[in-house]
């Protein structure tokens, strides 16, 4: 599990077709510690398994499902990515609990400066994702834990503070940028329970 508190920005070295999968290689620093082959790491909010480490970089294999539900297949050499190691038991949860399983992709529809902060509106084309959003609830955008400021039909807004703009990729995300979304896991389980409960009518879960 992760918390959506980005530890550092990595740099994409290469995304290339390998034997049966795409291989993503990322230059890193701080997160190299405890990231041996077999370890997990969140890259732009997507939990990946380290398959190779060396020369100050980490390599990951991307399967078809990862490519389908995330933006990782769109990365090119030189792109920056948010990196976070898994949560350790007993460590503070600075953001909110994340699985690193991207639910889908949103698109930045607006990014408006309000003083030192940015009000970012993200379009959510999938109604199945939109239903998990609530005002003042949590959402992860490219692996960054954020609070939902407002929910409108087909989109939601977040306020991105100066620190987050400086230490994550969100500071460079302009209108049209595609971002990975992970909805709050508690909300997803609750909605699934309401959908499948034998004690409730289907319309009660809507």
CATH number for 154: 2.40.30.20
Query: Which H or E run includes 187?
Result: helix 185-196
Q: Identify whether 131 is part of a domain.
A: yes
Question: How is 58-80 classified by DSSP, letter by letter?
Answer: EEEEE-HHHHHHSSGGG--TT-E
pLDDT at 206 exceeding the cut of 60 = no
Same domain, 109 and 188: yes
| Average pLDDT, integer, range 45-66 | 96
pLDDT bucket at 200, cuts 50 / 70 / 90: low
Query: What pLDDT score does 14 carry?
Result: 97
Residue 113 neighbours by CB under 8 Å, 6+ apart = 119
pLDDT at 45 exceeding the cut of 70 = yes
Global pTM?
Answer: 0.90
Same domain, 42 and 115: no
Digit-coded pLDDT (tens) for 148-176: 999 999 999 999 999 999 999 999 999 99
pLDDT bucket at 204, cuts 50 / 70 / 90: low
pLDDT at 197 exceeding the cut of 90 = no
Q: Identify whether 92 is part of a domain.
A: no
Measured in degrees and rounded to the nearest 5, phi and psi for residue 7 equal -90, -35
Q: Identify whether 123 is part of a domain.
A: yes
The total domain count for the chain is: 2
Same domain, 109 and 189: yes
Q: Which domain holds residue 55?
A: 8-84
pLDDT at 89 exceeding the cut of 80 = no
Q: Identify whether 205 is part of a domain.
A: no
């Amino acid at each position: 599990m992760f918390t959506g508190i980005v530890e550092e920005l990595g740099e994409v070295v290469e995304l290339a077709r390998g034997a049966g999968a795409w291989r993503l290689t990322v230059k890193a620093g701080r997160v190299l510690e405890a990231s041996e082959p077999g370890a997990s790491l969140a890259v732009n909010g997507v939990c990946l398994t380290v398959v190779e480490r060396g020369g100050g970089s980490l390599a990951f294999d991307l399967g078809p499902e990862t490519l389908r539900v995330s933006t990782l297949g769109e990365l090119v050499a030189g792109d920056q990515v948010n990196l976070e190691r898994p949560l350790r038991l007993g460590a503070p949860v600075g953001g909110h609990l994340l699985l690193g399983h991207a639910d889908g992709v949103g698109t930045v529809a607006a990014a408006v400066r309000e003083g030192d902060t940015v009000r970012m509106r993200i379009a959510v084309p999938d109604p199945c994702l939109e239903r998990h959003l609530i005002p003042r609830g949590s959402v992860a955008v490219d692996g960054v834990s954020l609070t939902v400021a407002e929910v409108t039909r087909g989109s939601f807004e977040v306020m991105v503070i100066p620190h987050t703009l400086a230490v994550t990729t969100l500071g460079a995300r302009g209108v049209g940028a595609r971002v990975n979304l992970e909805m709050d896991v508690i909300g997803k389980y609750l909605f699934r329970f309401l959908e499948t409960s034998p004690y409730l009518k289907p319309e009660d879960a809507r």
